[in-house]
């Protein structure tokens, strides 16, 4: 019922929050466009958690989320303010359906969420964030960069995990990026960044950031980490989704798995296979690694790479025996996971970190006329969500 008034709900929520708590506004991005993305991520994460409130994975996810939210300097008073404004927004948009019983249930649900997040924050012994100096900035074409960072103090992480990143070039804006390396003796970290059109932070990281600048990094998170249980492994990645796969393969190269490993890497063109020399060297030295590159035919649209990938996956067998790791844009992961399900892969052995759906990426309607003539889908509703595999919220 509330999602039928989706835009009104989120606008009411933030208006209520900032009106009654003026100081809270300084914790959020300054630009209007970034605030739109911010509110979508918040409600996407909320919807996901509510839909899976009884699942065992929600507790650890919420505690991890609370630990990560220390980078915003979020305290108990902020959780209370958000809860008050959330209930006010739900009441505003639900109308007569907002009964005392519904209000009581939502109040209890939000208290459970807030308590779990605050417990996670209280238990953490890590700093709220890590300052990290950019020591190298490599460009691959116009829209991809690999940044090597040296944190001022070691940042614990596992191959396959991600961190949230912020830059003074785009104040109070955080985005999650996978770490592109296994832990190193010198504690440096690699971020693989693909520039997103109208993405302020990704543009700043790819095109403007210079060695010597300092970025802020949040706590490492994510559940797409290696399972060493003797099962064959398949890695499927697209674009800079290669980054966490590279980290896991780097770990396997250091400690060989003792079984076959398959890698399927899709890219919009050959130029975006920026790590191909490294991959080819790994494949030559390690007979347990088999690699398939998928790119469009010359002159064809970049989407053909995904089609070629799906065909290649369909031509391979042994899916019920595989541990499968997926990484790439949300639509790519969803489509590939659906195909793997059809091919017989065990859903419990297909690992990826879920990004809650936040719309198609097109600009929002500017007024009610356009809204009614071309009404978009709700920005945070994901009816196909099956399990809470540690969503990246950036709330």
pLDDT at residue 87 tops 60: yes
- In the chain, CATH 2.40.30.10 sits at 130-217
- pLDDT surpassing 70 at residue 71: yes
Average pLDDT of every residue of the chain: 85
Mean pLDDT of 182-186: 96
Ranges for all domains in the chain classified under CATH 3.40.50.80: 233-351
pLDDT of residue 74 exceeding 50, the answer is yes
Query: What pLDDT digit, counting tens, does each position of 302-360 carry?
Result: 677 878 888 888 888 889 999 999 999 888 888 899 999 999 999 999 999 865 443 43
The pLDDT score that the predictor gives to residue 199 is 85
Architecture of the domain whose range is 233-351: 3-Layer(aba) Sandwich (3.40)
**Mean pLDDT computed over 205-212:** 96
What pLDDT was estimated at residue 370?
A: 46
Confidence band, pLDDT 50/70/90 cuts, at residue 394: very low
Select, from the ranges 147-161, 221-235, 287-301, the one with the highest average predicted confidence (pLDDT): 147-161
Tens digit of pLDDT for each residue in 238-289? 988 999 999 999 999 999 998 899 999 998 877 788 999 999 999 999 999 9
The pLDDT of 9-31, averaged and rounded, is 88
Give CATH for domain 2-126+359-373: 1.10.490.10
Instruction: Please tell me the predicted confidence (pLDDT) of residue 330.
Output: 84
Tell me the pLDDT tens digit for each residue of 89-125. 999 999 999 999 999 999 999 999 999 999 999 998 8
* Residue 218's pLDDT band (cuts 50, 70, 90): very high
Q: Distance between CA atoms of 36 and 17, rounded to whole angstroms?
A: 15
Q: Dmax of the chain from CA atoms?
A: 67
Q: What is the pLDDT at residue 11?
A: 87
Query: Could you tell me which of 361, 377, 366 has the C-alpha nearest to residue 6?
Result: 377
CB distance 225 to 159 below 8 Å? yes
Torsion of CA 382, 385, 389, 394, to 10 degrees: 0
What's the pLDDT tens digit per position in 366-386? 444 444 445 445 444 443 334
pTM of the model: 0.79
Q: How many C-beta neighbours within 10 Å does residue 232 have?
A: 15
Architecture of domain 130-217: Beta Barrel (2.40)
pLDDT one-digit tens code per residue, 44-63: 778 778 888 888 878 888 99
Mean pLDDT of 147-156: 97
- Cα–Cα–Cα angle for 246, 214, 221, rounded to 5 degrees: 45
Residues pairing with 235 in the sheet: 263, 325
Residues paired with 192 in a beta bridge: 146
Where do you find CATH 1.10.490.10 in the chain?
Answer: 2-126+359-373
- Strand order across the 144-151 sheet: 174-178, 162-166, 214-217, 130-140, 144-151, 189-194
The predicted pLDDT at position 59 comes to 87
Residue 37 pLDDT more than 90?
no
**What was the pLDDT predicted at 366?**
42
Query: If you average pLDDT over each of 21-25, 178-182, 373-377, which comes out highest?
Result: 178-182
pLDDT band at 392 (very low <50, low <70, confident <90, very high): low
Tokens 């999650």 belong to 176
């Amino acid at each position: 019922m509330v999602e039928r008034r989706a835009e009104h709900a989120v606008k009411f929520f933030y208006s209520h929050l900032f009106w009654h708590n003026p100081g809270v506004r300084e914790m959020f991005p300054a630009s209007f466009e970034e605030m739109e993305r911010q509110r979508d991520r918040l409600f996407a994460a909320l919807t996901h958690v509510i839909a899976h409130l009884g699942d065992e994975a929600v507790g650890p996810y919420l505690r991890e989320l609370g630990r990560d939210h220390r980078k915003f300097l979020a305290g108990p008073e902020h959780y209370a303010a958000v809860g008050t404004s959330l209930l006010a927004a739900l009441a505003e948009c639900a109308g007569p359906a907002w009964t005392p019983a519904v209000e009581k249930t939502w109040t209890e649900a939000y208290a459970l969420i807030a308590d779990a997040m605050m417990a996670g924050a209280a238990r953490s012994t890590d700093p709220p964030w890590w300052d990290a100096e950019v020591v190298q900035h490599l460009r691959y074409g116009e829209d991809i960069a690999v940044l090597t960072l040296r944190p001022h103090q070691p940042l614990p992480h596992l191959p396959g995990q991600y961190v949230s990143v912020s830059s003074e070039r785009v104040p109070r804006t955080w985005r999650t990026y996978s770490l592109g390396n296994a832990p190193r003796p010198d504690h440096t970290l690699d971020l693989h960044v693909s520039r997103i059109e109208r993405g302020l932070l990704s543009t700043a990281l790819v095109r403007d950031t210079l060695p010597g600048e300092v970025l802020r990094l949040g706590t490492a998170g994510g559940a797409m980490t290696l399972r060493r249980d003797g099962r064959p492994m398949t890695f499927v990645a697209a674009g800079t989704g290669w980054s966490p796969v590279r980290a896991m393969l780097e770990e396997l190269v250091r400690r060989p798995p003792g079984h076959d490993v398959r890698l399927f890497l899709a890219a919009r063109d050959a130029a975006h296979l920026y790590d191909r020399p490294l991959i080819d060297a790994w494949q030559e030295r390690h007979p347990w690694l088999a690699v398939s590159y998928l790119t469009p035919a010359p002159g064809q649209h970049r989407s053909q790479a995904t089609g070629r990938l799906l065909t290649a996956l369909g031509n391979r067998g042994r899916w019920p025996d595989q541990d499968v790791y997926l990484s790439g844009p949300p639509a790519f992961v969803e489509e590939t996971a659906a195909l793997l399900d059809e091919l017989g892969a065990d859903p419990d052995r297909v690992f990826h970190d879920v990004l809650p759906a936040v719309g198609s990426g097109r600009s929002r309607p500017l007024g009610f006329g356009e809204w009614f003539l071309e009404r978009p889908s709700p920005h945070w509703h994901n009816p196909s969500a099956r399990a809470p595999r540690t969503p990246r919220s950036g709330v």
